[in-house]
């Protein structure tokens, strides 16, 4: 059977032909591989360079590879955070004609780390809580989309910095199922698996001396269920308000927006007596701030990064002479510039100059949005100390010397084994 590479939308599928498909993945030469941290997997997984891209390659049966490839494409279509499927390779043979397992190829998620790599330095309880928050949000987003994971765990998740928090990405969709809607039992099954898996993974870290003494694996395993339950309840609960307090509906929608979710459809019913109104968000979409920033600037970021950048953008717009909120006239009695115009001016005059002041080779794998957020945080800290705005020049100079050298680089190669 000839080698076949199924890559429906890969940018450069021909670059995959140069990889060592006639050799078992476990035996690929070091010069082909990229030494990046990887999590625990029941299959052989390696990182390799294909053209200008770093890809993750997993050996698995053809049925499983094609099924997972299809599920990951479905999750991408639904805008669910997951690794990007690139190709399925079948028809692999060794030089002597021995059949080799097919492979699933996904793009490496830049700036991400598996949880074990993050625990190499003993992680404080607050950071563990932020990881669990990110995983709970991911699980809720999957369930809202009708995806039953079937194997929710820290091992099957990648984490990427997101403006002081973390964003969680699904890595392994092998056991998943996509349906129009999940039953309560299906959701509870996923939650129970998550609770047991996370407790076990933390116990494993505890046995290896990589867990903070104050982190109890069982308590933190149970915490994921509580976090999920609170978020699911807030997103899907039915609310009954007095008919005279319709502003409560707006308040509920704003609270959902603050959590990063949009209400795409809602159901509002008035009681027969006319004294109460029942409100139920029917469809809830994640990424409220992401979409708002993308609409204004064309920048595609993580949710918390978008929230941070939007706050800075709004503060900056308020200082512009041609700013007129809500379509009002400026102080000069002239029509104000459209928000999109001001937003693109902010990108050119503020965002890009600040980011470009930090050399690319010193950014520790941070994307532009994360770097700008870090600079904003540092500028606020320095300004609080100085009791006045220190400006960008002083912020960048201090950040380069005092902060950046101590930031771990998730893209740095692992040290060579002795």
pLDDT tens digits, one per residue of 50-84: 888 888 999 999 999 999 999 999 999 988 999 99
Q: Where are the alpha helices (DSSP H) in 208-246?
A: 217-236
Share of the chain above pLDDT 70, in %: 91
Residue with tokens 């800075």: 312
**Residue-wise burial string across 132-144, b where 16 or more C-beta atoms lie within 10 A, e elsewhere:** bbbbbbbbbbbbb
Q: How far apart are CA 183 and CA 179, in angstroms?
A: 10
- pLDDT for 329: 45
For 6-35, what is each residue's pLDDT tens digit? 876 655 567 788 888 898 989 998 888 887
- Identify the burial level of 364 via C-beta atoms within 10 angstroms of its C-beta, where 0-12 means exposed, 13-18 middle and 19 or more buried: buried
Half-sphere exposure for 18 (CA within 13 Å, toward CB) = 14
Domains of the chain in start order, with CATH, are 4-108 (3.30.200), 113-236 (1.10.510.10), 239-286 (no CATH), 302-406 (no CATH)
Please choose, from the candidates 6, 48, 9, the residue with its C-alpha nearest in 3D space to the C-alpha of residue 27: 48
Q: β-strand 261-270 against 45-50: which pairing, if any?
A: unpaired
First to last CA, the chain: 40
**Global confidence as pTM:** 0.80
pLDDT-derived band at 417, boundaries 50, 70, 90? very low
Predicted confidence band of residue 5 (pLDDT cuts 50, 70, 90): confident
Tens digits of residue pLDDT in 222-274: 999 999 999 999 888 888 888 777 778 888 888 888 877 877 777 888 888 77
**Pairing between strand 4-6 and 53-59?**
unpaired
Give whole-number Cα distances, 278 to 258, 267, 296, 400, in Å.
22, 8, 34, 53
Q: Rounded distance, CA 295 to CA 341, Å? A: 11
pLDDT of amino acid 319: 81
Q: Is the pLDDT of residue 330 over 70?
A: no
Q: Quick one: pLDDT at residue 384? A: 92
> What are the tens digits of pLDDT across the range 113-158?
888 887 766 567 888 888 888 999 999 999 999 999 998 998 899 9
> Given pLDDT bands bounded at 50, 70 and 90, which one contains residue 192?
very high
User: How many CB atoms within 10 Å of residue 245?
Assistant: 11
Q: What is the mean pLDDT of the chain?
A: 85
Distance CA(418)–CA(331), nearest Å, equals 69
Query: Could you report the per-residue pLDDT of 354-366, keeping only the tens digit for each?
Result: 999 999 888 888 8
Instruction: Provide CB contacts within 8 A for 149, sequence distance 6+.
Output: 139, 142, 156, 170, 173, 175, 176, 190, 193
């Amino acid at each position: 059977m000839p080698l076949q590479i199924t890559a429906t939308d890969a940018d450069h599928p021909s670059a995959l032909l140069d990889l060592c498909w006639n050799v078992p993945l476990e035996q690929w030469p070091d010069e082909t591989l990229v030494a990046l941290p990887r999590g625990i997997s029941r299959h052989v997984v390696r990182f390799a360079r294909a053209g200008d891209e770093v890809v993750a390659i997993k050996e698995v049966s053809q049925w499983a590879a094609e099924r997972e490839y299809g599920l990951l494409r479905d999750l991408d279509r639904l805008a669910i955070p997951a690794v990007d499927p690139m190709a399925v390779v079948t028809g692999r043979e060794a030089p002597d004609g021995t059949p080799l397992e097919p492979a699933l190829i996904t793009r490496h998620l830049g700036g991400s780390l598996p949880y074990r790599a993050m625990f190499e330095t003993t992680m404080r309880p607050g950071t563990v809580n932020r990881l669990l928050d990110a995983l709970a949000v991911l699980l809720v987003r999957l369930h809202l989309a009708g995806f039953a994971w079937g194997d929710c765990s820290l091992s099957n998740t990648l984490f990427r910095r997101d403006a002081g928090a973390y964003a969680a990405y699904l890595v392994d969709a092998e056991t998943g199922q996509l349906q129009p809607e999940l039953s309560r039992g299906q959701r509870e099954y996923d939650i129970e698996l998550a609770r047991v898996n996370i407790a076990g993974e933390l116990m494993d870290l505890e046995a290896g001396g990589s867990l903070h003494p104050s982190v109890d694996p069982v308590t933190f395993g149970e915490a994921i269920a509580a976090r999920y339950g609170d978020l699911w309840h807030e997103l899907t609960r039915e609310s009954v308000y007095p008919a005279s307090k319709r502003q409560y509906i707006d308040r509920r929608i704003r609270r959902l927006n603050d959590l990063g979710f949009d209400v795409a459809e809602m159901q509002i019913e008035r009681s027969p007596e006319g004294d109460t109104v029942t409100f139920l968000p029917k469809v809830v979409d994640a990424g409220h701030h992401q979409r708002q920033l993308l609409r204004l600037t064309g920048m595609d970021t993580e949710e918390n990064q978008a929230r941070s950048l939007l706050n800075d953008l709004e503060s900056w717009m308020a200082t512009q002479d041609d700013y007129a909120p809500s379509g009002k006239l400026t102080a000069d009695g002239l029509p104000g510039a459209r928000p999109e115009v001001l937003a693109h001016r902010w990108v050119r005059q503020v965002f890009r100059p600040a980011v470009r002041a930090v050399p690319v080779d010193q950014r520790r794998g941070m994307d532009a949005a994360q770097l700008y957020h870090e600079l904003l945080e540092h500028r606020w800290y320095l300004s609080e100390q100085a009791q006045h705005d220190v400006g960008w020049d002083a912020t960048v100079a201090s950040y380069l010397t005092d902060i950046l050298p101590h930031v771990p680089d998730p893209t740095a190669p692992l040290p060579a084994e002795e």
